[in-house]
A and B are shown apart, each in its own frame.
Chain A
Amino acid sequence: MHSKCVRWPISKITPSILSESITNDAGAVTSRDAFLRGVRELMPAWPGIFAWGLVTGVAMVKSGLSVTEATVLSLMAYAGSAQLAALPLMATFAPLWLVTLTAVTVNLRFVVYSVLTRKHFAHLGVQQRLWLGYLVGDIMFARFTAMVEREPDYPHRVQYYFGGAIANWVLWQISSLIGIFAATTIPTAWGLELAGTLTLVALLVPLCASRPVLAGVLVASVVSVLAHDIPMRLGLLLAIAFGVLAAFAVERARGES
């Protein structure tokens, strides 16, 4: 590691996040190492993120949004599945409260995620917590929780998370913009969105290393299929709830801690 190679611009974006960690005694790992590690550990997922962003960009334009509207929606909301869920509602001029409520319910799993990540960010300022929460995605969340479980003493976990989350945001926005501008030339028949789903498969496989997790995954899968037709993707929440209950029951039954 050369300490003088590149001045990373992250110090300009979030000076206080960075300085907070410098005052911590971090041993050999600097906050920049942690940031770069976050970026590096997200990168294997790039084909999936890219395909997903592309498909979302195309879908926004094909359902009637102008290039400007689609671009602003993507940059501000940064919520692939919520954007996709809102599009058919917007196309029929559904009431604004329904559009908003649908986006909230599709995003509700992030409330569960934030229960788990909260304690790692709680010492930061409100504004930083706001942005770190905004930047959460399924992929970086899975990576982050796995890392924290593996290395509970890793010093710069906020920077690690931030690095991966920013990389995800940039990749997503680039692919989404390409989708928006090339909407007419990318056929939806390619089935590119499957690449996004397959990324989640690769994230899930290494998590299935214990009986409780396997039980939870099995129950969540079955419930997600049974509850598929419940509106506003509330079936997703039901599936998570039943899956967590099943995993916890198995854990208790086996006396694992």
Chain B
Amino acid sequence: MTEPYVWWAILGITFATFLSRSSLHVLGHRLQVPHTLESALRYAPACALAAILVPDLVFVGGHLDLSFGNPRWLAGIVSAGIFAANRSMIASISGGMAVFWLLRAVHGG
């Protein structure tokens, strides 16, 4: 990559960060959001988390794989189970990773 191009791209990505994250904050009270919309958006955090993580677990190399040969979604389910059982994030992450590595070793991939 040639230097000036990369630096302009870095500036562009930084601008994108500020634009998307801070523009509504900068507007503050000047922007009125309808009450119904704001109340519906209470569900956005959970929906966003699901929409980020589910594709990460079920797509392997761009293909949907819900077989037992895909250790990622199985690790996700184990992780969720561990968290539901004991509310420990560390146990949930490490348990899920352990299952992932174990299954991958079993499948020889």
Chain A positions within 8 Å of B, measured between CB atoms, are: 44-45, 47-48, 64-65, 69, 72-73, 76-79, 81-83, 86, 90-91, 93, 96-97, 99-101, 103-104, 107-118, 121-122, 126, 129-134, 136, 138, 141-142, 145-146, 149, 191, 193-195, 197-208, 212-213, 216-217, 219-221, 223-225, 228, 235-236, 239-240, 243-245, 247-248
Closest to B11 in A: A76
Say yes or no: A198 contacts B92, CB within 8 Å: yes
Shortest CB distance A187–B (Å): 13
Distance between Cα atoms of A181 and B21 in the complex (Å)? 28
Tell which of A126, A204, A245 touches B46, judged by Cβ atoms closer than 8 Å.
A204
Say yes or no: B22 contacts A194, CB within 8 Å: no
Chain B residues whose C-beta falls within 8 Å of the C-beta of A142 in the assembled complex: 45, 49
Say yes or no: B47 contacts A202, CB within 8 Å: no
Q: What sequence of 0s and 1s flags, for each residue 33-73 of chain B, a beta carbon within 8 Å of any chain A beta carbon?
A: 10001111111111111111111111100001000000010
Distance between Cα atoms of A190 and B29 in the complex (Å)? 47
Contacts beyond the supplied A64-B1, A228-B64: 10 A-B pairs with Cβ under 8 Å: A82-B17, A109-B44, A109-B48, A114-B21, A115-B37, A116-B45, A118-B24, A133-B26, A193-B56, A194-B100
Closest to B29 in A: A122
Chain B residues whose C-beta falls within 8 Å of the C-beta of A111 in the assembled complex: 20-21, 23-24
Closest to B2 in A: A93
Say yes or no: B75 contacts A202, CB within 8 Å: no
Tell which of B1, B90, B94 touches A93, judged by Cβ atoms closer than 8 Å.
B1
Chain B positions within 8 Å of A, measured between CB atoms, are: 1-2, 5-10, 12-26, 28-29, 31, 33, 37-59, 64, 72, 75-76, 79-80, 83-84, 87-90, 92-94, 96-97, 100-101, 104
Say yes or no: B92 contacts A76, CB within 8 Å: no
Distance between Cα atoms of A103 and B20 in the complex (Å)? 9
Say yes or no: A116 contacts B42, CB within 8 Å: yes
Given contacts A96-B12, A198-B79, contact A244 B54 (CB under 8 A): no
Given contacts A48-B93, A194-B72, contact A224 B38 (CB under 8 A): no
Say yes or no: A216 contacts B47, CB within 8 Å: yes
Judged by DSSP, the binding face of B is helix
Given contacts A90-B1, A100-B13, A141-B45, contact A129 B76 (CB under 8 A): no
Distance between Cα atoms of A82 and B10 in the complex (Å)? 11
Distance between Cα atoms of A212 and B41 in the complex (Å)? 12
Shortest CB distance B69–A (Å): 15
Closest to B58 in A: A225
Shortest CB distance B11–A (Å): 8
